[in-house]
Amino acid sequence: MSDTIGSGSGTSQTFGNSSVGSGGRLFQGIVKETSICTPSPTILIPFSRDADFVQRGEIMDRLHQRRAQSFSRTALVGLGGVGKSQLAIEYAYQVRERSPETWVFWIFADTARRFEMDFQNIATYARLPGQHSPRADVLQLVTNWLVSESSGEWVIILDNVDSADFMIDSTQSPHPNRPHLVSYLPSCEKGSILVTSRNKNATLKLVELRNIIQVDPMSQEEAVALAEKKLGKSDDKMKCLADSLEYVPLAIVQAAAYITRLASLCSVNQYLERFAQSDHDKASLLNFEGGQLRRDPEAKNSIIITWQLMFDHIHRTRPSAAHLLSYMSVFNSQLIVIDMLRPPVFQSQRPTVAKCCPLHNMCKSSKMGFSEEDILHLADCSLISTRPDGQWVQMHSLVQLATRRWLQAAGDRGFDLWQDYLFIVCTAYCRSVLIPPPCSLLGCLRTYAIPARKGNRFQQSMVLEWLKTSRTLHQPSQMTKSVSWHG
């Protein structure tokens, strides 16, 4: 098995056991090529195997167990950058090691155009007869071949299914008269499909809930191991690096690439010192796009940009959820009381609160007012998580950083957000939604707000003014405290 399917004219680039032709981005695996033989099964993916791959608990074992079942469909769902595609790449190579007679196909499934292109490439690899006919339905040819005995066993990896609408809505296809694209994904005993996605709701249109595997950031041990492999050394700073980047694999790979590129100009310790200086420095470091990142060539390698593109999509498709995400970005990431996110909080039940709060007139016409569906939507996108008791919501602090930078780029939207935040927290405090220690509004704000930027005089003066006009609601001794909680 030393020959390769020819791609006609053009050069090719090697990826492990596969190569990608420059003409049409064809992935070509190692096969026996003769004029009369069907190609032997191979792995046809656009990525080489990662020698630095770190095992992620039991996820890989669960994937192999699912594949052993008939009519298998499984999904890896999680926040962008947590390593879903890296797990899928390693899984593909392990399948080939365990079952050399199994075809493994990689399909970029973020758009109908790319989905159809990769299906057409499968027809090319398999040398399906009739594919070059002007009237051929190549997608149907591939589907018929996959369910036939001649194909043997196969695995299809659908990468980046962040929206399944184009698969179930034929009007979003380049060929509106064609059946839904999902109909070309066969369910058969000898085939298995693995989906990667950031959106659980989209995944549920393709995979049963019980077959979804949630992928979270790495454990501390896994993150340290990844940092050590990428930097080629082991010392006590690796734990500090993993902790600072909160165990997000893409962020760790970015940091390692940045440190390696600058070599003597930036040690791990220097990186950590700069990372701790300010939000601006953190964002600058996390915007670095270098490194060998085995990612979709059409995707951004920066973790900040990756998340902000998702924010843009949410803002277009569900603006109220985007506003909720923005609002949550100024809370302490581990102390977001879910009652503060529900509609009743936004309509004060005590007229005295509305009258004495200078934020009321500015915020009463605000676009605030989030629904349970908005909370669920953000959770489905893995941007937030709820605790088992249902009373608290958590948000990854690096996601908060990316959200605040996104808001900063939006100008007035960020300004309005702080007005909304102060009004809501003050109102919730007066309605006893929160019981802040030690029973002061300032204590409440210190507890539930994140440490924001220094010198935020607009917010300081606004809260001080409110405190002065609401002496009946607060102890006078609390009014003269310095409002320095936005550091």
For residues 212 and 175, the answer to whether their CB atoms sit within 8 Å is no
Count Cβ atoms below 10 Å from residue 257 Cβ, excluding itself. Answer: 19
Helix axes 397-410, 319-328, angle to 10 degrees: 110
Helix (H, G, I), strand (E, B) or coil at 344: helix
Rounded distance, CA 388 to CA 143, Å? 42
* Lowest mean pLDDT across 179-188, 229-238, 421-430: 421-430
pLDDT digits (tens, 9 = 90+) for 432-459: 544 444 445 555 555 555 443 333 433 4
- The reported pLDDT for the residue numbered 430 is 56
**pLDDT score at 295:** 79
Higher pLDDT, 124 or 289: 124
pLDDT attached to residue 178: 72
305/477: higher pLDDT: 305
Average pLDDT, the chain: 76
- DSSP 8-state code for residue 179: P
* Percent of the residues in the chain that have a pLDDT greater than 70, as a whole number: 67
pTM assigned to the model: 0.78
pLDDT score, position 442: 52
CA distances from 38 to 18, 31, 33, 462 (A): 18, 9, 8, 75
Most confident of 207-221, 280-294, 418-432: 207-221
Return the minimum-mean-pLDDT range out of 184-193, 264-273, 303-312, 401-410: 401-410
CA nearest neighbour of 354 among 413, 414, 424:
424
| Residues 105 and 194: beta-carbon distance below 8 Å | no
Beta bridge partners of 20: 13, 27
pLDDT tens for 141-151 read: 999 999 998 89
Give the span between the Cα atoms of 84 and 16, in whole angstroms. 20
Rounded to the nearest 10 degrees, what angle do helices 412-430 and 319-328 cross at?
Answer: 70
- The answer to whether the bond into 358 is cis (omega within 30° of 0) is no
Task: Kindly calculate the radius of gyration of the chain based on its CA atoms and give it in whole angstroms.
Answer: 26
Q: How far apart are CA 22 and CA 387, in angstroms?
A: 48
| Beta bridge mates, 134 | none
pLDDT tens-digit series, residues 104-113: 999 999 998 9
**Are 463 and 421 in contact, with CB atoms under 8 Å apart?**
no
Number of neighbours of residue 458 by Cβ within 10 angstroms: 12
Residues 6 or more apart whose Cβ sits within 8 Å of residue 390: 338
**pLDDT for 344 beyond 50:** no
Question: How would residue 338 be classed by pLDDT, with cut points 50, 70 and 90?
Answer: confident
For residue 117, pLDDT beyond 60: yes
Return the pLDDT at 206: 94
Is the per-residue pLDDT at 324 higher than 90? no
Residue 411: pLDDT band by 50, 70, 90 thresholds?
Answer: low
Tokens of 31: 């096969």
User: What is the C-alpha separation between 1 and 189, in angstroms, rounded?
Assistant: 28
pLDDT score at 346: 42
Residues 6+ apart with CB under 8 A from 358: 462, 465, 466, 469
Query: In this structure, what token pair is assigned to residue 351?
Result: 């007229």
Continuous H helices in 245-328: 249-262, 268-275, 279-286, 303-317, 319-328
Instruction: Identify the band that residue 473 occupies on the pLDDT scale cut at 50, 70 and 90.
Output: very low
pLDDT at 389: 74
Q: Is the bond into 100 cis (omega within 30 degrees of 0)?
A: no
pLDDT for residue 55 is more than 90: yes
Average pLDDT of span 253-259: 92
Cβ neighbours, 10 Å, residue 138: 20
For residues 67 and 38, the answer to whether their CB atoms sit within 8 Å is no
Closest Cα partner for 208 from 6, 78, 73? 73
